[in-house]
């Protein structure tokens, strides 16, 4: 058994035999020609035929993956009309008196190298596109049919292994027979990866899969980013169960997609998704989230080797706002410290970082960093429905200081003529201190979002990352759920709303109690949304309220867990 890691292009689990795809290499020879004009005419005829083929691929892609994702083939058609590209081919033919195949290959290599050397990641990916169109024109010139060698596998379902796949090859994959694909090259930003996500094909790129794998049994885990070659029986059984669980989840998703998230009496509940970066948006849309309840903005800092500039942050926030198309996007400001350390911040070692210099404490201590982020957030607010949320609040003065800094930033933007919206402003409730003064905090903000992960560890005094005391970390401990109820009640008293963005929101037991306690918004990993949506639609709200009242009277975590288990069995047995 061999485990090989790769970069995730699209999640999912596939089990089957590997089929190695070998593409015929177009061996392009330099041939002297006598009539340059005739050779240029031959090239232009081939260019026209290639453009027609791309139009056909575009039409096919529109039907299968939608107009937006089919646009890559329009881009390829435009590349075939690019005057710089065409002039280069013509010039090589004329100046060197060489055949069109050689001129196209040379131009393709030159332009691909030019794109690959650019700093911008998007432009780097265009290197693969220009090579794809050049190979298409060369194939037409050589009068070869477009094909990928998969002989002997027409009816068999299989996992494709290849050095790389062009977008045109990806869109032509037979989804009835292709379980997944794994490539040795490529990146998660390529059009091929984007198409894989849209076509719901589990895919890994940049994997070191050996060449001698044809016909071997394999598992592609698109959630963890691994390929398992020749899995043993135990691993196979484990993944067969995971695959079935994922299939059940997908079926549930399809049944619920587009349906309202309401209880049996019609009470509407907001189900939002937690994300860490822009590339998570695909899962948000796929799982039918009503919005984003937590965008962990610190990932922009964690993935960088420098403080992200205002424009770098603005572009990320703007993209998320635009893609969500008016749906709520709650962006948490920088939450660095504790278990999220960044070298260039120069933070000193702390004996107890979870209780130390982190989150809003850093932002208030280093306002220049904070102001840069707030400027980017406010600028991005013009492109969607952005809310700003501050983590790790423990006192009223912190909230007021943040609001004071935000007003300074708004004044700066106004003086510079930069537009922004008056965004909704909220805080995270993660500390026992915030719970105890929630009634006062509610007067200062528009909403609360309870971070149950940190709140649980602080209330119980249990380090959630310490395996030695893992059994003591109990999210349904009576003290934790009573604290949550206090926060919800305090916000409602002031006419404000409360959400949960910790793991408890995506857990069926936790969600059942939170629903009964009157929680307004649940935010979770996107993959948990169908399960919680199903639970809410099967629930009677009045019954859940009564159940929550009874659970809040229990004395131990074991009693709460047993009680909620019985409640869930009752709901699902109806």
> pLDDT tens across 84-108, in order?
889 999 999 998 999 999 999 999 8
pLDDT tens for 110-125 read 888 887 777 666 666 6
153 pLDDT exceeds 50? no
Tokens of 27: 């061996």
**Catalytic: which of 76, 363, 477, 501?**
501
Q: What's the CA gap between 73 and 65, in Å, rounded?
A: 12
Q: Given strand 2-5, what is the order of strands in its sheet?
A: 2-5, 226-229, 217-221, 13-20, 158-162, 178-183, 203-205, 7-10
**Pairing mode, if any, of strands 226-229 and 2-5?**
antiparallel
Q: Assess whether 191 carries a catalytic annotation.
A: yes
Query: Which residue is listed with tokens 């000193």?
Result: 348
Decide the pairing of beta strands 158-162 and 178-183.
Answer: parallel
Burial of 573 (0-12, 13-18, 19+ CB in 10 A): exposed
8 φ, ψ (degrees, to nearest 5): -80, 120
How much is the pLDDT for 553? 96
Q: Is the pLDDT of residue 555 over 50?
A: yes
> Quick one: DSSP state of residue 274?
E
- List the one residue out of 30, 51, 26 whose CA is nearest residue 103: 30
Give yes or no for a contact between 526 and 289, defined as CB atoms under 8 angstroms apart. yes
Evaluate if residue 191 carries a pLDDT over 80.
Answer: no
- Cβ distance 288 to 253 under 8 Å? yes
**Exposed e or buried b per residue across 124-162, where buried means at least 16 C-beta atoms within 10 angstroms of its C-beta:** bbbbbbbbbbbbbbbbbbeeeeeebebeebeeeebbbbb
Nearest 5°: the CA angle 359, 306, 524 is: 45
Note the residue count of the chain. 574
Secondary structure (3-state) at 242? helix
Q: What is the pLDDT of residues 295-306, one digit of tens each?
A: 999 888 877 778
Q: Tell me, yes or no, if 477 is annotated catalytic.
A: no
| Mean pLDDT value of segment 155-168 | 76
- How many angstroms separate the CA atoms of 260 and 270, rounded? 9
Write out pLDDT tens, residues 331-369: 999 987 655 667 777 777 777 777 887 889 989 999 999
DSSP H or E stretch at residue 65: helix 36-65
| pLDDT tier at 152, thresholds 50, 70, 90 | very low
Q: Which residue has the tokens 């857990």?
A: 507
Backbone angles phi, psi at 210, to 5 degrees: -65, 160
Within 10 angstroms of residue 285's Cβ, the number of other Cβ atoms is 14
Contact criterion met (CB below 8 Å) for 46 and 100 = yes
Identified catalytic residue from 191, 306, 349, 492: 191
What mean pLDDT is reported for the chain? Answer: 86
Q: What is the mean pLDDT of residues 264-278?
A: 91
Question: How would you classify residue 321: left for phi > 0, otherwise alpha for psi between -120 and 50, otherwise beta?
Answer: alpha
Mean pLDDT of 33-38: 91
């Amino acid at each position: 058994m061999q485990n090989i890691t790769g970069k995730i292009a699209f999640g999912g689990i596939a089990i089957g035999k590997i089929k190695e795809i070998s593409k015929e290499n177009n061996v392009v020879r330099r041939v002297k020609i006598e009539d340059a004009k005739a050779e240029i005419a031959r090239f232009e005829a081939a260019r026209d035929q290639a453009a027609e083929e791309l139009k056909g691929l575009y039409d096919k892609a529109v039907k299968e993956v939608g107009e937006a994702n089919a646009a890559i083939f329009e881009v390829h058609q435009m590349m075939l009309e690019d005057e710089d590209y065409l002039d280069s081919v013509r010039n090589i033919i004329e100046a060197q008196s060489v055949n069109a195949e050689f001129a196209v290959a040379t131009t393709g290599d030159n332009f691909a190298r030019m794109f690959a050397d650019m700093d911008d990641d998007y432009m780097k990916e265009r290197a693969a596109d220009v090579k794809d169109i050049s190979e298409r024109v060369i194939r037409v010139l050589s009068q070869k049919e477009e094909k990928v060698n998969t002989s002997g596998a027409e009816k068999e379902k299989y996992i494709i292994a290849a050095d790389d796949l062009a977008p045109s090859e990806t869109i032509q994959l037979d989804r009835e027979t292709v379980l997944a694909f794994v490539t040795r090259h490529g990146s998660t930003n390529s059009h091929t990866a984007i198409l894989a996500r849209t076509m719901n094909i589990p895919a890994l790129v940049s994997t070191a899969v050996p060449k001698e794998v044809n016909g071997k049994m394999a598992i592609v885990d698109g959630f963890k980013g691994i390929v398992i070659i020749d899995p043993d029986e135990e691993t196979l059984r484990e993944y067969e169960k995971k695959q079935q669980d994922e299939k059940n989840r997908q079926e549930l998703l399809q049944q619920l997609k587009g349906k309202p998230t309401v209880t049996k009496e019609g009470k509407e509940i907001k189900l939002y998704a937690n994300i860490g970066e822009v590339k998570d948006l695909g899962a948000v849309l796929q799982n039918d989230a009503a919005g984003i309840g937590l965008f962990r903005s610190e990932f922009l800092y964690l993935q960088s080797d420098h403080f992200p500039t205002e424009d770098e942050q603005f572009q990320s926030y703007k993209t998320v706002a635009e893609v969500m198309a008016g749906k709520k996007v709650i962006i948490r400001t920088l939450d660095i410290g504790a278990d999220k350390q960044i070298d260039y911040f120069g933070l000193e070692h702390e004996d107890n970082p979870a209780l130390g210099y982190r989150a809003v404490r850093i932002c208030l201590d280093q306002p220049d960093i904070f102001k840069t982020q707030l400027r980017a957030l406010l600028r991005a607010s013009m492109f969607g429905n952005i809310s700003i949320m501050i983590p790790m609040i423990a006192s009223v003065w912190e909230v007021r200081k943040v609001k004071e800094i935000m007003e300074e930033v708004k004044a700066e933007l106004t003086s510079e003529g930069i537009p922004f919206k008056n965004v909704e402003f909220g805080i995270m409730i993660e500390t026992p201190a915030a719970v105890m003064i929630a009634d006062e905090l509610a007067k200062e903000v528009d909403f609360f979002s309870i971070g149950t992960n940190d709140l649980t560890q602080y209330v119980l005094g249990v380090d959630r990352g310490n395996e030695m005391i893992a059994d003591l970390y109990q999210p349904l401990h009576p003290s934790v759920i009573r604290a949550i109820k206090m926060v919800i009640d305090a916000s409602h008293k002031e006419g404000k709303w409360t959400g949960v963005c910790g793991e408890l929101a995506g857990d069926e037991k936790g969600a059942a109690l939170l629903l009964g306690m009157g929680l307004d918004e649940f935010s979770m990993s996107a993959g948990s949304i169908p399960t919680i949506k199903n639970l809410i639609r099967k629930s009677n709200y009045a019954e859940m309220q009564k159940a929550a009242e009874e659970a809040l009277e229990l004395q131990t975590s074991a009693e709460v867990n047993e009680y909620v288990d019985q409640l869930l069995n009752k709901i699902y047995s109806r």
